[in-house]
Amino acid sequence: MTDVRFDFGTGRSDPATFPTAALQAAAVKVIERDRELLTNYPGSLGYEPLRKAMAKREGDREGVSVNPDHISLTNGSMQAVTLVAEALTEPGDVVITEEFTYPGTLSAYRSLKLDIHGIGMDEHGMRMDLLRERLVTLQTDEQLPKFLYVLTNYQNPGGTVMPTFRRRELIAIAKEFGVPICEDNCYGDVHYEGEVPPALFALSEKETPEDGVEHIYLGSLSKILAPGMRLGYLLAKPPMLDTLLARRHDAGPNTLSAAIAAEFYQDGIGEHCATSNPPLHAKLQRLTAGLSEELGDLCHWSNPPGGLFLWLRYPEDVDQKKLWKLAEDAGLKFLPGISFHYKLGKAPFLRLAFGHLTQETIIAGVPVLADCIRRARTSNEAPEFPNNWLEFET
Ligand SMILES: Cc1ncc(COP(=O)(O)O)c(C=O)c1O
């Protein structure tokens, strides 16, 4: 196998902005200070100062007050993604996702033998007309989903941000059909430009506090700090919180990791994000500039206002297997569209992650990608798609 030279595969934070010295100092301090807590089990909510820091993070961004006792720290947000399904479903139950979504979620839900229904998307994320249609059908069949899993900000992989008007529609639909919402906002603070619409739980709280919609909200430190620290969290009010925690059997999250992060973020996450986000944005701009030069006539791609991915659509006449083989031989890695599709549908897309790459690797990698795509084509016709969304239900 050829060595990977251009790794556009995994969504990671930027190693160059990892705050080594500050975390070292925090580690020395907390190991001494928190000896008592470190020699005990954390319990299912986890280290309180980090819960307070994350409640502040969410509360500051959303303009609502967040109770730290409604937050449970997890081993990355992935543990929370899985826990929600373990707690709310039985094998065979229906859950709703976007048509293209995070492969980790899909593989967890597949392994729990859930019946995943993917809802088509457009430039605003999950389409509400299609969601409503599907829920009407499922209701007739007495198979309403156990929850809706939705990526509202910098959707992985599509890069979309769901606008406020659509968030309101989503909340109204969840209320009408009595289905809980699980909002995964794992990229929420990897923000580059534009307004950030309110999180669903905050929107409900501000505008329709009596709507009775059950919200589960997931956050992470993987994308703003480091995935190796394995820190994420879920936020939910009782009794939903109790239902979720009843299925938690791991004796709680990692106190040392949580204590180091809490010490680092004692004055909020703002300062570090102000340092770590601009280089990510510059890399995205470098990537889109390179693609415009190399593939402007052939492909369409997202230009997300945040997050760690670009979603690229290539012509239907590209032979996917040939593309993957050419890429592998060239030492180029990306994730193919099929891995994000809820039914593993063959889709003319690929996802490029850019956060951990150097500018030089991006500059050198884009022409290699363009060459692979061109060589994998089976015709010379001009592509006809106007945007990044499929016009058909797959
Ligand atoms: C949408 C989404 N949710 C959850 C995760 C899991 O991240 P972590 O467990 O590192 O917080 C990822 C990771 O890429 C993701 O893209």
Distance (angstroms) between ligand 1 centre and the Cα of 387 equals: 26
| CATH class in words for 19-267 | alpha beta
pLDDT value for 384: 83
Name the residue with the closest Cα to ligand 1, atom 5: 78
**Residue 382 CB burial class (10 angstroms; 0-12, 13-18, ≥19):** exposed
Q: Is the pLDDT of residue 392 over 70?
A: no
Cβ proximity of 307 and 187 under 8 Å: yes
Among 69, 35, 77, which residue's Cα sits nearest to residue 52? 69
Question: What does the domain layout of the chain look like in residue ranges?
Answer: 6-16+271-375, 19-267
CA 182 to centroid of ligand 1, rounded, Å:
14
Q: Say if CB 121 and CB 159 are below 8 A apart.
A: no
Alpha carbon 394 to its chain centroid, in Å, reads: 22
Q: What is the pLDDT of residues 80-89, one digit of tens each?
A: 999 999 999 9
Ligand 1 mean position to 229 CA, how many Å?
13
pLDDT for the residue numbered 368: 98
CATH number listed for the domain at residues 6-16+271-375:
3.90.1150.10
State the pLDDT confidence band at 394, using cuts at 50, 70 and 90.
very low
Alpha helices in 89-155 (DSSP H): 103-111, 128-140
Residue 386 has pLDDT above 80, yes or no: no
Q: Is there a contact between 119 and 98 (Cβ–Cβ < 8 Å)?
A: yes
Q: To test ligand 1's pocket by mutation, which of 81, 83, 183 has the most ligand atoms within 8 angstroms of CB?
A: 81
| pTM of the predicted protein model | 0.97
Mean pLDDT of the chain: 96
